[in-house]
Amino acid sequence: MQYVNRVVLQLLRSSLVNNRTQAVVCDDLGMISYALYSNPKVELKTKDRADLLEAFLGALYVDKVCVYV
């Protein structure tokens, strides 16, 4: 296995857990059209879209009973 610089891994992790990055992924997947809200909003904020993606991934993880490695 090749040596991976610790700083590179930290930057990669930071970009993956970044609200802006998650919001872009949410938009790219068109997840907003599947969201149901009790209080509909005109436009979702970046944090709302990031939360939507995280909720979906969490539900997918639980549904598929993924084993943590």
The reply to whether 10 falls in a domain is yes
pTM for this predicted structure:
0.70
Torsion 27-54-15-46 (CA) sign:
positive
pLDDT tens digit string along 15-52? 778 899 999 999 999 998 888 878 877 788 999 999 99
Identify the domain containing residue 44 by its residue range.
Answer: 6-63
Residue 69 located in a structural domain: no
Asked if residue 32 lies in contact with residue 56, where contact means CB atoms within 8 angstroms, the answer is no
Higher pLDDT, 26 or 8: 26
Total domains in the fold of the chain? 1
